[in-house]
Structure 1
Amino acid sequence: MKQIIQDLKKGDTILEEVPVPLVKKGHVLIKTAKTLVSLGTEKMLVEFGKANFIQKAKQQPDKVKMVLDKVKTDGLKPTLDAVFNKLGQPLPLGYCNVGEVVAVGKGVTEFNIGDRVASNGNHAEYVLIPKNLVAKIPDNVSDEDAAFTVIGAIGLQGIRLLKPTFGETIVVVGLGLIGLVTAELLKANGCNVIGFDFDSEKIRIAKDKGIIAINPSEGTDQVKFVETFTNGVGADGVIITASSKSNEIISQSAQMCRKLGRVILVGVIGLDISRADFYNKEISFQVSCSYGPGRYDEEYEQKGNDYPIGYVRWTEKRNFEAVLNAISNGSLNVKPLITERVPLNEFEKIYGDMSSSKSIASILEYNSTENPKSTVTINEKSFNKQKGIIGIVGAGNFTSATILPNLKKLGADVKYIASSGGLSSTTMAKQYGIVNSTTNYKEILQDEDVDTIFITTKHNMHAQMVLESMRSNKSVFVEKPLALNTSELDDIIKEYNETEVTVSVGFNRRFAPLAKQMKKALGNDNTPMNIIATMNAGFIPADVWVHDMEIGGGRIIGEACHYIDLCTYLAGSKVKSVCMSSMGLNPQENTDNASILLKYENGTNVVINYFANGSKAYSKERVEVYSQERTLIMDNWRKLRGYGFKKFSKSFSKQNKGHYNQFNELITSQKNGGNPIIPFEEIVNTTKASFAAIESLKQGGWVEIK
């Protein structure tokens, strides 16, 4: 299928060929009929893509500070690699989609195949959308009109926050696409509406809709006009839908208001607010978030859990439905807003020169007759029954930033890369010479050429995919964790014992050059030691999926397992019991501020401090080992110092966490045979230890590993 994307590195807008998404639980697959190009939002993305690096940096000063902090801790090259990797990931454009439902995922009961629906899908021939971001289109509403649903919901959410009442005077600053729709919805709500814009065509359209529309460039003072119109009282409220870097808009908006007036920001403007403008009249100010309640809430959008209507009357989906109803009953007329209709293949007519475009609303028309494919071939290559042919399932940031660059250095043969949406896998396939991009990972399992599966998906998918891979007679490399609970782990152990394939987990720290130096210096005499390992992991917001125990397993199971394995490697022994203490009066099982105590079979004592409340300017990882009157201090995989050793005192290197060595050993083992790169029993022990840490927190004591 075809999809419009924005290349952030080169600045090109591209019509890309990508595999069609596969329907999944809680989602619907939609064949697109029309999409609406939102000139304001998409113009910003396109112009950002075309900007040079200095211009990009000026637009995102907060990101620049993050980059500088990372340079201090990780070094220049790892930081630049991370920045360029991020810029190398294209953005899908568009969020106003109309089409026909062609497949329904498990758990979706409100939609059927054949339904006409509006959603926030991208500019693509097929889109996969969560059910709470989809709304049915009334029979008397055309596809073209329905394409305004999401834009209408953005304006409607601003209105709901303003809470206008019948007869109030409301000012709309900026009569672009969202502004015109907002003004008309306010008028339908019984308000007196004043609109300001510098575009004469938009002023004309607004006046045709009965809106009092003023072009300030013709000499009208906006504040004075509102004062005169309201007999000196001022506007009851202002909705800002403009896009500008100027701080003048927010100042004028406050000045236009009456005492206790309200200002709602829907657009993007300068926000250097003058206290005096808001203080004297006690003006309230609020920023509107997208389509309405539920936006960016994982529970609502991805898991499909609706808010009870008695408590949240207007969710984003119900806002979609309200806009469609307004179009259906004639209180919102969007036809005059359509400037042009363009076939998808001629998309450059819209995106070619957006900076000078006078279009208000451009409609992209779709007429795909091809059968959608879940796999597309990017590069031609034959493998002739070679060993070590890889299929990668998961095309997220870790795959692009770490796995693929290292596999490329090693000259690894990758036949497939899979992603749920198809875009990220296609981008990476082109960049790294991978043969196929797919949205159906089961096609990889069925291919006899592939003997090794890399799994880098969200954590809750790991165990099932590991089992499927083993049952397909494929060896597995799975990015940690191996499993999220004992039941999953038991299934993997049972399957492993019945097959001849290998299972490896991405515990890369033990393969780091400095880790190997530490192991060599300590020796293999099985003498007990004390280890203190600290992960200054950094803060991750509570609503990110890694904290969800069902999806991410929490950061102890999902990330601290790295250091359990590293300590196992250094100790040369296995964990026999675990006790974890967490920060806070009421610690939660998904904590990311905890100290884990480990007792090993050989008497080694370990403390792993996993903290998320430290400064990012400080080293992210540090390991201290105390043994036989000797001490090793490793700092952030860049420095290693030894005290009390006869033949070792210090070592320095570029930051290297062992990924290259890990993959090199894995591929070599897969091609030539040999022992697994990490003994399976150690992988199991580490996984059980991470589970035991959580169990210890619940019980409040030591937990034995069985």
Structure 2
Amino acid sequence: MKQLAQNLRTGKTVLLEVPAPLVKKGHVLIKTRKSLVSTGTEKMLIGFGKASILEKARLQSDKIKPILNKIKCDGLLPTARSVLQRLDQLIPLGYCNVGDVMEVGEDVAHFRRGDRVVSNGLHAEMVCVPANLVAKVPDDVTDEEAAFTVIAAVALQGIRLLGPALGETVVVIGLGLTGLLTAEMLKANGCRVIGLEPDEQKLQIASEKGIITINPRHTDPEKLVADLTDGAGADGIIITASSASHDLISLAAKIARKRSKVILTGAVGLNLRREDFYKRELTLQVSCSYGPGRYDPNYEEKGLDYPIPFVRWTANRNFEAVMDMLASGLLNVKPLITEVIPLVNFWKVYDQIVDSKGIAYLFHYPQTSGYKNTIRFQNKVIKAVNGTIGIVGAGNYTRMTMLPLLKDFAVKYIASENGFSAAELATKYRIPYITTDFGEMLSDEEVSLVIVATRHDKHAAMVIQALNAGKHVFVEKPLALLPEQLEAIIEAWQTREHDVSLTVGFNRRFSSHTLKIKELLGNAAMNVVVTVNAGYIPAESWVHDPQIGGGRIVGEGCHFIDLISFLTGSSVTAVCMNTMGGSGNGMQDNANILLRYQNGSTGAINYFSNGHPAFPKERVEVHSLGKTLVLDNFITLTGYGFKHFTRYKSRQDKGHERQFRQLREMVCNGGPALIPFGEIVNTTRATFAAMESLKNTCWESVE
């Protein structure tokens, strides 16, 4: 199927061929009829993409300080590579979609195949959308009208935050698409509406809808608003403009009456002058997208709705309200349509979008069938008979770390849930097949190694599926989120019918620095202290969700337990963990973990998210036999008390390159597992024991 995307680095818009997504739990699979180009949002993205590196830095000045801190920790070249890699990626476009339901996922009861629906789906022939962001289209609303629903819901949410009463005067600053929709809905609400806009074409459309119009280039807005309100000022202001200027927020304050509200739906400069707001006791509120539920994983991904008595207007109910207005004729969007264009002619819109005077462009889609979940993307021939790889998961780890190291490997498949990210990486790394169907990859007899790099909640099930299919498996950490998942993996391992291996991405044990420590200290008992300056991740991130990410200790702390186990050459027998604030705060990202080993060694992991970002991310101290080794950020290893060793320095080496090289050799040529299965199990059980220790406030033994 076809899907539109934009390159962040160049600003170029491309039409990709991607595999169709599979429907998933709580979601709806939709075949698109029409989609609307949000000229404001997409114009901003295109403009950012076409800007120079320096201009991008100016536009995102808040990112400069973290980059400087990363340079201090990791060095200039690694940081530069990381920044350029993040910029050199595609982002999907579009969020105003109308189409037909093809399939409904598990736990979705209120849609069925054939329903005509709107959603925040992308510019793509097939989209898979959370059910709470999908709404049925009334029979008397056309596809073209329905395509305006989501952007109109953005406008409606701004109005709801303002809460205007019948007869009040409201000023809308900016009469682009969102502004015109805002103005018309305010008028339908019984308000007197004044629109500010420098574009005469847009002013003409607004005037025809009964809006009082002001061109600030020709008329003083302050004076005219004062005249129209008998000097009181407007009862409310909604800013829908997109501008870097700070003058618009100042103007809004000057034309507002005392104790009124200013609602920001658009994006403008926010250098506020206190005196503008102080004397009038004004309230400034920023509107968030199409309403309550947006960006809430519980609402979007888990399908939990907000009860009407407590949240009357959610994002979904705003969609429905807009369509009621469209059906009744209270909202007339037909005059806003500039052109309806076939998707394949997308360039007609995007080549001129930055300078275009158009208001609303729509794409229409071919109503074909038979979209495939796996497509042949490149004519590259895979020569390797043994060692052919299939990758599932196309996120940051795959993009930033893994694929650059697999350039010379025989990668035949890359899979992702929506197909888009996999298609992007297949283009860059010349991977022949893209799929959204993990089962199809497993059924290919040429694939001997499956790499699982999805979100954490998918790891255990995919590992079991791949082992049962007779594939070697490499899974990014963690192996499992729950003890019962680990036990299921152990059973699959013990009952496997093929001589295959299982490797977990505990890459630090493969670092040249780690191997040097082993060489210098051998198998002597030791005390190891690992300090991890992990950095803050917001509480709403999937990483902290116990059902998806498992939390940072389960998801990342296992790395450092494995590192200490490798250094000591022993197994963990007991664990004790303590966190800042105790166990009731829901986030275990500031923790101390104590480890006791079978050979008498001890380990301590200080895992912190509240450190300064300029401080190195990882530090390892090893004390044994009257000697000390200190490893700073996997760049510098310093020895104390050694006759023939004082210092070893390299570029940052966390072991990824050696790990994948040895993995390929093992899969192609045979040999022992990279990490013995018993060590993988011990590390995973020790991680679970750490969580139990926190809950029970005592040491927990590890079998």
So what's the TM-score if we normalise by structure 2?
0.99
Contact 1:21-1:421 at 8 Å conserved across structures = yes
Amino acid at match of 1:554: G
How many angstroms apart in 2 are the aligned matches of 1:385 and 1:594?
Answer: 45
How many angstroms apart in 2 are the aligned matches of 1:370 and 1:27?
Answer: 20
Once the two structures are superposed, what CA deviation does each residue of 1:403-450 show, in whole Å capped at 9, x if it has no partner? 100111xx1100000011111111111111211111111111000000
Amino acid at match of 1:176: G
Q: After TM superposition, list the pairs within 5 Å mapping 1:1-12 onto structure 2.
A: 1-12=1-12
**Where does structure 1 differ by over 3 angstroms across 4 or more consecutive aligned residues?**
381-385, 585-590
How many angstroms apart in 2 are the aligned matches of 1:139 and 1:353?
Answer: 34
536, 549, 556: which one aligns with 2:533: 536
Determine the structure 2 residue equivalent to 1:452: 449
Contact 1:460-1:484 at 8 Å conserved across structures = yes
Contact 1:415-1:436 at 8 Å conserved across structures = yes
SS in 2 for 1:216: coil
Q: Could you tell me how far 1:368 is from its partner in structure 2?
A: 3.7
Determine the structure 2 residue equivalent to 1:430: 427
Q: Could you tell me how far 1:355 is from its partner in structure 2?
A: 2.2
Q: Could you tell me how far 1:57 is from its partner in structure 2?
A: 1.0
Contact 1:89-1:424 at 8 Å conserved across structures = no
Stretches of structure 2 lacking an aligned partner (at least 5 in a row): none
How many angstroms apart in 2 are the aligned matches of 1:119 and 1:392?
Answer: 30
Amino acid at match of 1:461: K
Determine the structure 2 residue equivalent to 1:38: 38
SS in 1 for 2:85: helix
SS in 1 for 2:600: coil
How many angstroms apart in 1 are the aligned matches of 2:97 and 2:616?
Answer: 45
How many angstroms apart in 2 are the aligned matches of 1:275 and 1:672?
Answer: 71
How many angstroms apart in 2 are the aligned matches of 1:355 and 1:611?
Answer: 44
How many angstroms apart in 1 are the aligned matches of 2:82 and 2:381?
Answer: 32
Amino acid at match of 2:64: V
Contact 1:589-1:698 at 8 Å conserved across structures = no
Contact 1:549-1:590 at 8 Å conserved across structures = no
Determine the structure 2 residue equivalent to 1:323: 322
Q: Could you tell me how far 1:589 is from its partner in structure 2?
A: 5.8
Determine the structure 2 residue equivalent to 1:661: 658
How many angstroms apart in 2 are the aligned matches of 1:514 and 1:414?
Answer: 29
Contact 1:81-1:401 at 8 Å conserved across structures = no
Amino acid at match of 1:65: K
SS in 2 for 1:355: coil
Contact 1:638-1:654 at 8 Å conserved across structures = yes
- Please identify, of 494-503 and 166-175, the stretch whose mean Cα deviation from structure 2 is larger: 494-503
SS in 1 for 2:4: strand
How many angstroms apart in 1 are the aligned matches of 2:85 and 2:437?
Answer: 25
Amino acid at match of 2:149: T
SS in 2 for 1:580: strand
Once the two structures are superposed, what CA deviation does each residue of 1:224-250 show, in whole Å capped at 9, x if it has no partner? 111000001110110000111111111
Q: Could you tell me how far 1:585 is from its partner in structure 2?
A: 4.5
The reply to whether residue 415 of structure 1 matches residue 398 of structure 2 is no
How many angstroms apart in 1 are the aligned matches of 2:67 and 2:697?
Answer: 40
How many angstroms apart in 2 are the aligned matches of 1:203 and 1:99?
Answer: 32
Q: After TM superposition, list the pairs within 5 Å mapping 1:11-50 onto structure 2.
A: 11-50=11-50
How many angstroms apart in 2 are the aligned matches of 1:101 and 1:589?
Answer: 38
The reply to whether residue 583 of structure 1 matches residue 580 of structure 2 is yes
The reply to whether residue 568 of structure 1 matches residue 565 of structure 2 is yes
SS in 2 for 1:625: strand
How many angstroms apart in 2 are the aligned matches of 1:589 and 1:229?
Answer: 54
Determine the structure 2 residue equivalent to 1:92: 92
Q: After TM superposition, list the pairs within 5 Å mapping 1:44-83 onto structure 2.
A: 44-83=44-83
Contact 2:539-2:587 at 8 Å conserved across structures = no
Determine the structure 1 residue equivalent to 2:162: 162
How many angstroms apart in 1 are the aligned matches of 2:670 and 2:686?
Answer: 29
Amino acid at match of 2:527: N
Determine the structure 2 residue equivalent to 1:138: 138
Once the two structures are superposed, what CA deviation does each residue of 1:99-125 show, in whole Å capped at 9, x if it has no partner? 001111111111110000011111111
Q: Could you tell me how far 1:33 is from its partner in structure 2?
A: 0.4
How many angstroms apart in 1 are the aligned matches of 2:235 and 2:505?
Answer: 59
The reply to whether residue 359 of structure 1 matches residue 387 of structure 2 is no
The reply to whether residue 640 of structure 1 matches residue 637 of structure 2 is yes
Alignment CA distance shift 1:598-1:340 (3 Å): same
How many angstroms apart in 1 are the aligned matches of 2:380 and 2:350?
Answer: 35
How many angstroms apart in 2 are the aligned matches of 1:76 and 1:102?
Answer: 49
CA RMSD in angstroms, aligned pairs only? 1.0
Aligned-pair identity (%): 55
Once the two structures are superposed, what CA deviation does each residue of 1:515-563 show, in whole Å capped at 9, x if it has no partner? 1111111113xx3211110111000000000101111111101001000
How many angstroms apart in 2 are the aligned matches of 1:317 and 1:589?
Answer: 29
Q: Could you tell me how far 1:384 is from its partner in structure 2?
A: 5.8
Contact 2:148-2:333 at 8 Å conserved across structures = yes
Contact 1:27-1:108 at 8 Å conserved across structures = yes
657, 671, 677: which one aligns with 2:668: 671
How many angstroms apart in 2 are the aligned matches of 1:661 and 1:308?
Answer: 53
How many angstroms apart in 2 are the aligned matches of 1:555 and 1:384?
Answer: 40
Contact 1:264-1:288 at 8 Å conserved across structures = yes
So what's the TM-score if we normalise by structure 1?
0.98
Amino acid at match of 1:520: E
Q: After TM superposition, list the pairs within 5 Å mapping 1:602-617 onto structure 2.
A: 602-617=599-614
Determine the structure 1 residue equivalent to 2:303: 304
How many angstroms apart in 2 are the aligned matches of 1:355 and 1:486?
Answer: 54
How many angstroms apart in 2 are the aligned matches of 1:274 and 1:384?
Answer: 66
Amino acid at match of 2:559: H
- Please identify, of 589-598 and 286-295, the stretch whose mean Cα deviation from structure 2 is larger: 589-598
Once the two structures are superposed, what CA deviation does each residue of 1:286-320 show, in whole Å capped at 9, x if it has no partner? 11111111111111111111111111111111111
Q: After TM superposition, list the pairs within 5 Å mapping 1:481-500 onto structure 2.
A: 481-499=478-496, 500=499
How many angstroms apart in 2 are the aligned matches of 1:99 and 1:370?
Answer: 13
Determine the structure 1 residue equivalent to 2:475: 478
Amino acid at match of 2:308: I
Once the two structures are superposed, what CA deviation does each residue of 1:116-142 show, in whole Å capped at 9, x if it has no partner? 001111111111100011111011100
Amino acid at match of 1:334: V
How many angstroms apart in 1 are the aligned matches of 2:283 and 2:534?
Answer: 38
How many angstroms apart in 2 are the aligned matches of 1:570 and 1:124?
Answer: 50
Q: After TM superposition, list the pairs within 5 Å mapping 1:521-532 onto structure 2.
A: 521-524=520-523, 527-532=524-529
Contact 1:640-1:651 at 8 Å conserved across structures = yes
- Please identify, of 73-82 and 236-245, the stretch whose mean Cα deviation from structure 2 is larger: 73-82
How many angstroms apart in 1 are the aligned matches of 2:63 and 2:410?
Answer: 35
How many angstroms apart in 2 are the aligned matches of 1:415 and 1:586?
Answer: 45
Alignment CA distance shift 1:623-1:677 (3 Å): same
Amino acid at match of 1:519: K
Determine the structure 2 residue equivalent to 1:405: 404
Amino acid at match of 1:396: G
Q: Could you tell me how far 1:462 is from its partner in structure 2?
A: 0.3
SS in 1 for 2:54: helix
Once the two structures are superposed, what CA deviation does each residue of 1:447-493 show, in whole Å capped at 9, x if it has no partner? 00001000000111000000000000001000000011111111111
Contact 1:553-1:590 at 8 Å conserved across structures = no
Stretches of structure 1 lacking an aligned partner (at least 5 in a row): none
SS in 1 for 2:593: strand
Amino acid at match of 1:2: K
Q: Could you tell me how far 1:575 is from its partner in structure 2?
A: 0.1
SS in 2 for 1:290: coil
How many angstroms apart in 1 are the aligned matches of 2:76 and 2:441?
Answer: 37
Q: Could you tell me how far 1:385 is from its partner in structure 2?
A: 6.5
The reply to whether residue 150 of structure 1 matches residue 147 of structure 2 is no
How many angstroms apart in 1 are the aligned matches of 2:84 and 2:583?
Answer: 41
How many angstroms apart in 1 are the aligned matches of 2:212 and 2:443?
Answer: 65
Determine the structure 2 residue equivalent to 1:237: 236
How many angstroms apart in 1 are the aligned matches of 2:667 and 2:45?
Answer: 43
How many angstroms apart in 1 are the aligned matches of 2:516 and 2:701?
Answer: 31
Determine the structure 2 residue equivalent to 1:201: 201
The reply to whether residue 520 of structure 1 matches residue 542 of structure 2 is no
How many angstroms apart in 2 are the aligned matches of 1:384 and 1:179?
Answer: 57
Once the two structures are superposed, what CA deviation does each residue of 1:267-296 show, in whole Å capped at 9, x if it has no partner? 111111110000001011011111111111
How many angstroms apart in 2 are the aligned matches of 1:344 and 1:15?
Answer: 9
Determine the structure 2 residue equivalent to 1:114: 114
SS in 1 for 2:268: coil
